[in-house]
């Protein structure tokens, strides 16, 4: 029935039918001499029925549109539910990953504090500073390899922990940390003083200057701050910050490789940063006598040693 109404009830069809009705009713009235009132009443029935038919048709159209709208609403709701489930799954995964990572870092910090007792407040780790898992690895290197000279590119929390390790394990060595920023360098010096390890670790102010290497120009620590260093057993590359220039840490190996001891270990932090991965690849290409191991730490680090 609905299909029939939709198919046949149109304004044009109804107009034709009403016109025919009017003409028929008028003809009938005149032919039968039925009088004006019954004829007009019969004629009026035509537009009324026509209007009714158009109203029914309009309501059917409206009902069909409402039906379509309901379908679309359901489909939209399904999509929203799917996207929400997807987001919830991703957020849950991220939270679990973060909880696991936080536990690992707390465990590492607890480990450091237990092995290396400090007599003053400790600096923050993670973020700009080295993460506790990397600090554990560096301290472990210091304990096992007993370096005579540790050189750090970028001073901070790591300088203190390395110095505490030197003191605790009575290692006959020293740490030289380079810092391009005199304010941060000064803070590290204060930290070392508070922990009474300034005899073991020195922070050198080393403003960045221009170096030309393999046809490219880099900004790196001023030559006067490191040119006297020889026999470096442990080189920790954690600066300058990436914001100071492209492949900011690349010059470390080209400029200091001649000052490394034959058994030296170099550690490059922040391999989660693509720029740092490029630095590592370029080092390995330029120094094939070095092999590297990638450590799955919070910010990832590479340990390089001569093969």
What residues make contact with ligand SAM under the rule CB under 6 A?
A: 128-130, 154-158, 179-181, 184, 238-239, 241
Query: Looking at beta carbons only, is 54 or 118 nearer to ligand SAM?
Result: 118
Write the CB contacts of 211 (distance below 8 Å, at least 6 apart in sequence).
Answer: 217, 218, 219, 220, 251, 255
Helix and strand counts by DSSP (H, E) for the chain:
8, 9
Q: How far is the CB of 289 from ligand SAM (least distance, A)?
A: 26
Query: Looking at beta carbons only, is 46 or 251 nearer to ligand SAM?
Result: 251
Q: How far is CA 12 from the centre of its chain?
A: 64
Q: How far is the CB of 259 from ligand SAM (least distance, A)?
A: 19
Please give the residue whose beta carbon sits closest to ligand SAM in the complex.
156
Whole-angstrom Cα distance, residue 163 to residue 174? 8
Q: How far is the CB of 191 from ligand SAM (least distance, A)?
A: 10
> Are the CB atoms for 254 and 222 separated by under 8 Å?
no
> Are the CB atoms for 163 and 188 separated by under 8 Å?
no
Write the CB contacts of 111 (distance below 8 Å, at least 6 apart in sequence).
Answer: 132, 136
Query: Looking at beta carbons only, is 14 or 175 nearer to ligand SAM?
Result: 175
Q: How far is the CB of 269 from ligand SAM (least distance, A)?
A: 7
Query: Looking at beta carbons only, is 53 or 166 nearer to ligand SAM?
Result: 166
Q: How far is the CB of 76 from ligand SAM (least distance, A)?
A: 46
Query: Looking at beta carbons only, is 39 or 188 nearer to ligand SAM?
Result: 188
3-state secondary structure of 169: coil
């Amino acid at each position: 029935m609905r299909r029939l109404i939709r198919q046949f009830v149109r304004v044009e069809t109804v107009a034709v039918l009403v016109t025919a009705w009017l003409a028929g009713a008028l003809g009938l009235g005149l032919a039968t001499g039925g009088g004006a009132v019954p004829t007009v009443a019969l004629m009026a029935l035509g537009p009324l029925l026509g209007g009714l038919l158009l109203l029914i048709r309009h309501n059917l159209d409206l009902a069909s549109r409402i039906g379509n709208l309901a379908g679309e609403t359901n489909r939209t709701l399904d999509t929203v539910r799917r996207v929400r489930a997807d987001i919830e799954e991703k957020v849950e995964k991220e939270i679990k990953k973060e909880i696991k990572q936080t536990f690992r870092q707390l465990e590492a910090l607890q480990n450091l504090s237990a092995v290396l007792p400090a007599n003053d407040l400790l600096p923050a780790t993670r973020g700009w500073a080295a993460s506790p898992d990397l600090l554990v690895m560096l301290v472990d290197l210091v304990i096992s390899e007993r370096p005579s000279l540790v050189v750090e590119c970028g001073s901070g929390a790591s300088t203190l922990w390395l110095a505490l390790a030197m003191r605790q394990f009575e290692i006959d060595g020293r740490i030289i940390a380079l810092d391009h920023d005199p304010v941060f360098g000064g803070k590290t010096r204060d930290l070392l003083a508070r922990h009474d390890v300034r005899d073991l670790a020195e922070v050198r102010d080393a403003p960045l200057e221009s170096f030309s290497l393999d046809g490219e120009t880099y900004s790196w620590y001023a030559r006067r701050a490191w040119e006297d260093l020889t026999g470096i057993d442990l080189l920790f590359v954690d600066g300058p910050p990436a914001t100071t220039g492209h492949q900011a840490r690349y010059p470390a190996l080209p400029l200091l490789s001649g000052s490394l001891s034959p058994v030296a270990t170099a550690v490059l932090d922040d391999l989660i940063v693509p720029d740092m991965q490029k630095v590592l690849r370029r080092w390995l290409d330029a120094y094939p006598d070095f092999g590297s191991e990638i450590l799955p730490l919070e910010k990832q680090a590479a340990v390089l040693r001569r093969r």
